[in-house]
Amino acid sequence: MPRYLLPALALMALVFAACSSGDKDDGNGGGDSGDNTPAATRTKAPSTNTGDLEEHEDELRDTVPAAYKAIFGEGALDAYKYASDDFKDKCSLDDFIGIMAFVKIFLGDLDAEDIEVEIGEIRYEDGRAFVEVTGTIKGEELAAGDNSDDFSDYWVYEDGSWKWGTDEDDPCDTSFGTGGGDDKTPATGPGSSRSEPAALGEPVDSGDLRITVLSADLDAADKIADLSDFPSTPIPGRRTVLARVKVEHIGTNPDETIQVYESDYKITGSKNVVYSSFDDGTSCGFVKDTLQGEMFPGGELEGYVCFQVPEDETDLLLISQPSFTFGDTARRFYALE
């Protein structure tokens, strides 16, 4: 098995175990998806009395399926609403978005009918609810939750709604064992920072990857029409930016593969806002020949990454950050103009 797939499997185990053990959060008006305020400074009123929790069991039985659909069928912002304050303190919204991007790549686009969830036994203990979940996702059967007392994930009733929680110290840490993310190069020189981006055509090393931005089209709406059978309708006030990227595997382990995705790349500019390639407001839709694939050492991939950005964004920079590296050490910057 490629070493680079291990974080993916760990992620899926985390998500499926969360659903099966009941750590998925509740969707009855979950909190502000963008609220990253530390829990200590937020007003919260968790219920700890078992009797009080049982009074809200019907809500929990409605919330868990809604959370499932948010995780697998909607977007990161919708899913993050179900996270408890404690979970948000351990996993920032940015890190969570990165995880959900990979889930989307792994499972593809799912409709509501692809997700079937049934709620079984619910156990209450120490102000927490543990939920047994069965069902299917895209035809794949979910195992019933662990019936032992050794649960690592759970639900809490917080500020009038159910939210998922976890005992994991760092639930969004998936940086281990990723060939592309084990950065062995000093973060100095061209590409190491926004103030010193690499120029077009200049290769930059990041761990076992060597990345070169070959070309950039800063107003590519016409070109996208030729590259897509189903191009997104341009959003008024935005322009399409298309970059051609080459990625080489320069590692030395002959058995190690690295997987590369378009979602490893983002874009920023004069407004200091970071735009992804997969959000509704910034996606270019289905584009042929996007950057995606898997390589052994010595292999190379080439493809497009595409974004819609505000027309008045200037000084555009492409940002590369291999999947499952949520720190700054593997991040590199490339000038597009």
φ/ψ (deg, to 5) at 15 = -65, -45
Q: What is the pLDDT of residue 223?
A: 86
Q: What is the mean pLDDT of the chain?
A: 75
Q: Rounded distance, CA 269 to CA 311, Å?
A: 11
Q: What is the pLDDT of residue 163?
A: 92
Instruction: Please state which of the ranges 21-30, 279-288, 305-314 shows the lowest mean pLDDT.
Output: 21-30
More confident residue, 158 or 52: 158
154: DSSP letter? E
30 pLDDT more than 50: no
- For 13, the 3-state DSSP assignment is helix
Q: Are 132 and 120 in contact (CB under 8 A)?
A: yes
Q: What is the pLDDT of residue 273?
A: 94
* pLDDT, tens digit, 9 for 90 and up, residues 3-17: 333 333 334 444 444
Q: Rounded distance, CA 257 to CA 278, Å?
A: 24
**Averaged over 260-285, what is the pLDDT?**
87
Chain Cα centroid distance, residue 293 = 18
Strands (E), 187-299: 204-206, 209-217, 230-231, 238-249, 258-260, 265-268, 275-276, 285-286, 293-295
Instruction: Please state which of the ranges 184-193, 215-224, 228-237, 319-328 shows the lowest mean pLDDT.
Output: 319-328
* pLDDT, tens digit, 9 for 90 and up, residues 92-140: 877 777 677 666 666 666 666 777 888 889 999 888 998 888 877 766 6
Q: What is the pLDDT of residue 58?
A: 92
**Averaged over 172-194, what is the pLDDT?**
61
The position carrying tokens 């009941």 is 22
User: What is the percent of the chain with per-residue pLDDT over 70, rounded to a whole number?
Assistant: 68
**Averaged over 247-271, what is the pLDDT?**
91
Q: Give the chain's domains with CATH numbers.
A: 3-166 (no CATH), 204-335 (2.60.40.1240)
The amino acid at residue 64 is V
